[in-house]
Structure 1
Amino acid sequence: MRIDVLTLFPAMLDGFLSESILGRARERGQVEVAVHNIRDWATDKHRTTDDRPLGGGAGMVMKCEPIFAAIEAVQTPGCRRIYLTPDGVPFTAARAEALSHESHLVFLSGHYEGIDQRIRDTVIDEELSIGDYVLTNGTLAAAVVIDALARFVPGVLGEEKSLTHESFTRCLLDFPQYTRPATYRGMAAPEVLLSGNHTAIEKWRREQQERKTARLRPDLLSKN
């Protein structure tokens, strides 16, 4: 999978892309990520990427010219071009899995009051939001989406079973996890987890997922 990120703040992704599971996936060639500074496509001496909104109003709007040029420079036939924005479609685990099957993704990170609508109308295929809140720019949102979808790329996770047991994959929150020691400060892990009875363990975990989901996210149960 190839991913290109267009942003005004490429340094924000330096550490993120080099660490942990995603860093190893890049080293193994399972995920290729290139980060580009949108200012590289600005044509004036000040490398201007924004201007005042037409019609007046607060803040600044990212200009057409550098973004069109940037997208056209990195896109390939059949790639999916995604804009990260608070007013986009909510990002979900299901969407992450679907995007993991794409061969090439281009992420556009917005800033200021957003981007010129003509960009959204013509060179953007999908608009995603990671939540009902506003960030200073969309670079962190792009990082979240990349991290979530990369986990579905074959071979990126060492234990594929974790994909089927974690929160939201089956519209259920995750079950409680325990490790050694079995008893710590008088707190004992559930006996069933020490029983070696895998059928009983799976049943207990499913029950815990259903109880936790009913308590914290009952809206998810209607999707099962």
Structure 2
Amino acid sequence: MHIDIITVVPGLLEGPFSHSILKRAEDKGIAKVKVHNLRDYTEGKQRQVDDYAFGGGAGMVMMIEPIAKCIAALKSEREYDEVIYMSPDGKTFNQSMANELSLKQNLIILCGHYKGVDERVREKYITREISIGDYVLSGGELAAAVVADAIIRLIPGVLNDETSALTDSFQDGLLAPPVYTRPSEYEGMKVPEVLMSGHQAKIENWRFEASVRRTKERRPDLLQGRET
């Protein structure tokens, strides 16, 4: 997988892709994330990427020309499955969407900034708009990092245990069950005996029931329309 991220603040994305699972994916040659500074596609000494909005109002708007040049340059190198715009009014990102996008090969993610982008960018270039929640960030960079992380970790070979991603919360519409490790007892708190029984069928049944119970308690909205 190849993900190109377009941003006006590339420094915000240096950390997330230089460590842990995302770095491991790149080292293995499984996934590559490349960050592009939008100012590299501007003209003039000011390297201007934003301007005032027609009609007035507070805040600046990202201009269409630098974005168009950047996307054109990227598309000259490869074909893209999606051009994604991180936007608070996009479709809310969830595990199902992460699963779908993990099957793609090449993605562009455009990070919004200021008061957003010229609407013509969205009309002409964007194929999908994504939000990570009903709140506003200073820019789309952190949201882009969240999406990239959620996608890349699902690609076979990225995680050491390939079954791990399949047992994460939300994969089956439920929260993950409680997990325990050694010691088996700590200050009077004991690990459920079934988890130490070695009886895999009973363990899986306990985990499912615990997932349903936890979901009912903490995220009952996930169970709407589902028989449990």
Task: Please indicate, yes or no, whether the TM-score normalized by the shorter chain is above 0.5.
Answer: yes
- Given that 2:62 and 2:118 are in contact with CA atoms closer than 8 Å, whether structure 1 keeps it comes out as yes
1:16 partner SS: coil
Deviation at 1:223, TM superposition (A): 5.2
Q: For 1:170, which of 172, 177, 180 is the aligned residue?
A: 172
**Residue 57 of structure 1: aligned partner:** 57
1:119 partner SS: helix
Q: Which runs of 5+ in 1 are unaligned?
A: none
**Residue 36 of structure 1: aligned partner:** 36
Deviation at 1:158, TM superposition (A): 1.4
Deviation at 1:217, TM superposition (A): 1.1
CA–CA separation in structure 2 for the residues paired with 1:219 and 1:149 = 24
Deviation at 1:214, TM superposition (A): 0.9
Deviation at 1:152, TM superposition (A): 1.3
Structure 1 length-normalised TM: 0.97
- The one-letter amino acid paired with 1:187 is M
**Residue 186 of structure 2: aligned partner:** 184
1:43 partner SS: coil
CA–CA separation in structure 2 for the residues paired with 1:159 and 1:223 = 32
- Given that 1:171 and 1:223 are in contact with CA atoms closer than 8 Å, whether structure 2 keeps it comes out as no
Backbone CA RMSD of aligned residues: 1.0
Deviation at 1:20, TM superposition (A): 0.7
155-164 or 205-214: bigger deviation: 155-164
Deviation at 1:186, TM superposition (A): 1.4
What whole-Å deviation, never above 9, does each CA across 1:53-105 have from its counterpart, x for those lacking one?
11111111000110111111112334310000111001111111111111100
- The one-letter amino acid paired with 1:202 is E
Return closer, same or farther for 1:158/1:5 CA change in 2, 3 Å cut-off: same
159-168 or 180-189: bigger deviation: 159-168
**Residue 119 of structure 1: aligned partner:** 121
Aligned residues: 224
Q: Report matched runs for 1:89-104 at 5 Å.
A: 89-104=91-106
CA–CA separation in structure 2 for the residues paired with 1:121 and 1:147 = 27
List structure 1 segments (4+ residues) > 3 angstroms apart after TM superposition.
none
137-146 or 194-203: bigger deviation: 194-203
What whole-Å deviation, never above 9, does each CA across 1:103-144 have from its counterpart, x for those lacking one?
100000010000000000001110000000000000000000
**Residue 87 of structure 1: aligned partner:** 89
Return closer, same or farther for 1:49/1:167 CA change in 2, 3 Å cut-off: same
What whole-Å deviation, never above 9, does each CA across 1:141-162 have from its counterpart, x for those lacking one?
0000000000111111111222
74-83 or 103-112: bigger deviation: 74-83
CA–CA separation in structure 2 for the residues paired with 1:170 and 1:41 = 43
